[in-house]
Each structure stands twice: as C-alpha cells, then as structure tokens.
C-alpha cells in the first residue's frame, strides 16, 4: 500500500536513535577525543546538507570554531583547489555514493586535513575517501525519502560535537519516543488541509530549527510535489514576507514572528520539543508525517516519488 514503507521508517526512529547514541559517541571519541581544530569544513548534498547545517550551528555555538559549507563544484567542475587552513572535514552522505562529496573529502585528506565520513553504507565511496568513518547502521532505508537516516545523521553530528569537547547532555535528551511520533502524526493530519490549500507555501525556522525547515520543504517537494520554499525566519523578514497573504501558508518551527502572526496568511505552528540543541531530531518527525500525508492526499506514493532514485550521484 502506498506510503506504508515511509510510515514504518518514520516510526522506527525513536528506538533506532536510542540504541545507537552510545555507540556513536564511543566511536567518535576514539577518533577525535582531545583533538582541537581551528576550522571545520562540511560537505554534503540533499537531506545530508541539512544535517550539515545543523552541525554548523552546533560547532559554532558550542566549540566557537568557524565552519564553512563546501561548494563541491569549485573542485569537481572548476578544478580549483582551495587552500584551507588546517581543519576537520566532515562529509555526510546516507548512501555514501556521492562522487562530489567523496572527491572533496579525498582532496582534503591528500592535503593533510583530518577527514570524517558519516554514512549508512559500509564500504561506500565516501568511506574510502575519508580517514575516519562513522557508520549509522540504521538498516536499509527502503523509501526514497530519507527519514531514519536523516535523524541518525543529526544524532551523529550531536555526538561528534560532544566527542570534540562540547558540554552537551548525555544521554541525548528529547529523542522522539512513541508518544511524540504519534503526536506529530496527529498534528500533521490536522494541519494537512491548510498546507494543501496553500497557493504559496513556506517552511521557516532559525538557529537549530533552520535545518528542520529546510528538510520539511524538501520532503514536501519530493514526496507530495508541493512547491515549498524554506527560509531562516530572519531572512524571511528581508523580502519574502511580501508574499504573505490569504493564499499563503507558513510552516513555522519555533516562535512565530509577530509580523507573521498579525498578517493575513495561514500559519502552521509545528510542535516543539524545547529550545534545546537536540530538538531537531524530534521536531522533523512532524515534517516527515506532513509530507507523507500530503502525498497520499494528492494520490501520490511517497515511497516512490517520480523522477527520483534512492541514490543520487552528482559531480
């Protein structure tokens, strides 16, 4: 039946994350405990790029080191080799098959930088490129849309920052449990009609929640074929807010801006865990359910969106 695979993988996430959190931390401490870096370079595409955005906030807030999100085409299309200062380069790819991500990691490794691959696929191309690999080991993800591999990537990022010395709580708080996953499913069902009726659809977040807005927009596009643009709440004030009106719907993670609350557009407030660095691992469950249910309501199969494959290879 359409959507059953994605729904099952959404529901797996709570126990999956709890079981793997200690192993991620132990493995990353083995590789990086006591290491100090002056900079981090993050390389990813798609959902993994949103996990990298989350890692950027964690590193800059909790370790106070500058972070750059790499543009792989600088190397793969233009052949330019950037002279980065000594850094930790982290590549995130759930399939591990992305040639652009692996080429950047390999180039950084040749340049003497420390490299880490975060992937769900043992023996993958990204693992061969990096010196260190953290395997997510969440089992095969059968739906095209990333769900459990995405939240596991967020968890890996959280544990990496802890392994590098950040004072963050352990065990990881606010991981999604069965009650939270059920609550998100119910709230997504209630919000569905407001999303489906939107002529203009936004997903908004800020800080830790920005990655969740980005991932929600991607899920709605790839699963339900709904055009959705994500913005930082701050950037939204610098122009896109002009599009707010009776035909618009904004899905907001975090506090709804006063200017948006008083406008004519429809606002969907996503359920919030807390203002905590670990919250994105739980809050994206709402976005996942919203995309799954919107697809079914439009007669689509979110397990197998058109024109998409599970593994995407770009250069």
pLDDT in tens, 211-249: 999 999 999 999 999 999 999 999 988 888 778 888 999
Average pLDDT over every residue of 299-314: 71
State the Cα–Cα distance between residues 87 and 172, nearest whole angstrom. Answer: 26
User: Please, which pLDDT band fits residue 314 given cuts at 50, 70 and 90?
Assistant: low
Is pLDDT of 201 > 60? yes
CA atoms of 226 and 260, how far apart (whole Å): 21
**DSSP for the chain?**
-TTHHHHHHHHHHHHHHHHHHHHHHHHHHHHHTT---S-EEEEE-THHHHHHHHHHHHHHHHT---EEE--THHHHTT-----PPS-EEEEE-SSS--HHHHHHHHHHHHTT-EEEEEESSTT-HHHHHSSEEEE-------SSS-SHHHHHHHHHHHHHHHHTT----SSPTT---HHHHHHHHHHHHHHHHHHHT-SEEEEEE-GGGHHHHHHHHHHHHHHH---EEEEEHHHHTTTGGGG-STTEEEEESSSPPHHHHTSSSEEEE-----SSTTTHHHHHHHHHHHHHHHHHHTT--TTS-TT--SS----
Q: How far apart are CA 237 and CA 6, in angstroms?
A: 34
Q: What is the pLDDT of residues 135-153, one digit of tens each?
A: 999 999 988 899 999 999 9
Residue 205's DSSP bridge partners are 232
Is the pLDDT assigned to residue 46 strictly greater than 80?
A: yes
Could you tell me which residue, 311 or 123, shows the higher pLDDT?
123
> Over 70: is that where the pLDDT of 208 sits?
yes
Give the pLDDT band of residue 306 (cuts 50, 70, 90): confident
pLDDT in tens, 150-191: 999 999 999 999 999 999 998 899 999 999 999 999 999 999
Q: What is the per-residue pLDDT for 84?
A: 92
pLDDT exceeding 90 applies to what percent of the chain? 79
Cβ within 8 Å of residue 284, ≥6 positions away: 150, 151, 154, 212, 215, 216
**pLDDT at position 310 over 60:** no
Mean pLDDT of the chain: 92
Question: Is the pLDDT assigned to residue 119 strictly greater than 90?
Answer: yes
Least confident of 122-126, 209-213, 241-245, 280-284: 241-245
Q: Which domains does the chain have, with CATH numbers?
A: 4-163 (3.40.50.10490), 178-297 (3.40.50.10490)
Instruction: Please determine, for residue 50, whether its predicted confidence score (pLDDT) is greater than 70.
Output: yes
- Which positions ≥6 away from 163 have C-beta within 8 Å? 25, 28, 29, 31, 32, 33
pLDDT at 39 > cutoff 70: yes
């Amino acid at each position: 039946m359409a959507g059953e695979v994605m729904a099952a993988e959404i529901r797996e996430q709570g126990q999956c994350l709890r079981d793997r959190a200690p192993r991620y931390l132990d493995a990353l401490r083995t590789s990086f405990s006591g290491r100090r870096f002056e900079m981090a370079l993050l390389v990813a595409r798609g959902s993994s790029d949103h996990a990298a955005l989350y890692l950027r906030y964690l590193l800059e807030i909790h370790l106070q080191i500058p972070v750059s999100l790499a543009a792989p085409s600088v190397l793969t299309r233009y052949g330019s080799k950037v002279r980065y200062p000594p850094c930790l380069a982290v590549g995130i790819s759930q399939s591990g098959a992305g040639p652009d991500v692996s080429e950047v990691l390999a180039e950084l490794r040749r340049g003497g930088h420390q490299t880490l691959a975060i992937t769900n696929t043992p023996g993958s191309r990204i693992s061969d490129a990096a010196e260190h690999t953290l395997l997510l080991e969440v089992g095969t993800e059968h739906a095209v849309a990333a769900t459990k591999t995405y939240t596991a990537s967020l968890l890996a990022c959280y544990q990496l920052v802890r392994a590098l010395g950040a004072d963050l709580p352990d065990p990881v708080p606010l991981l999604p449990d069965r009650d939270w996953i059920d609550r998100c499913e119910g709230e997504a069902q209630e919000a569905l009609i407001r999303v489906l009726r939107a002529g203009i659809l936004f997903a908004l977040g800020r800080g830790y929640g920005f990655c969740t807005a980005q991932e929600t927009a991607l899920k709605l596009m790839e699963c339900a074929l709904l055009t959705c643009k994500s913005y930082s709440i701050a950037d939204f004030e610098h122009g896109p807010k002009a599009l707010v009106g009776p035909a618009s719907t904004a899905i907001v993670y975090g506090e709804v801006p006063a200017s948006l609350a008083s406008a004519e557009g429809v606002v969907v407030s996503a359920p919030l865990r807390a203002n905590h660095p670990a919250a994105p691992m739980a809050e994206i469950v709402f976005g996942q359910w919203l995309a799954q249910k919107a697809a079914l309501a439009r007669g689509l199969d979110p397990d197998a969106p058109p024109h998409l494959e599970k593994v995407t290879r770009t250069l």
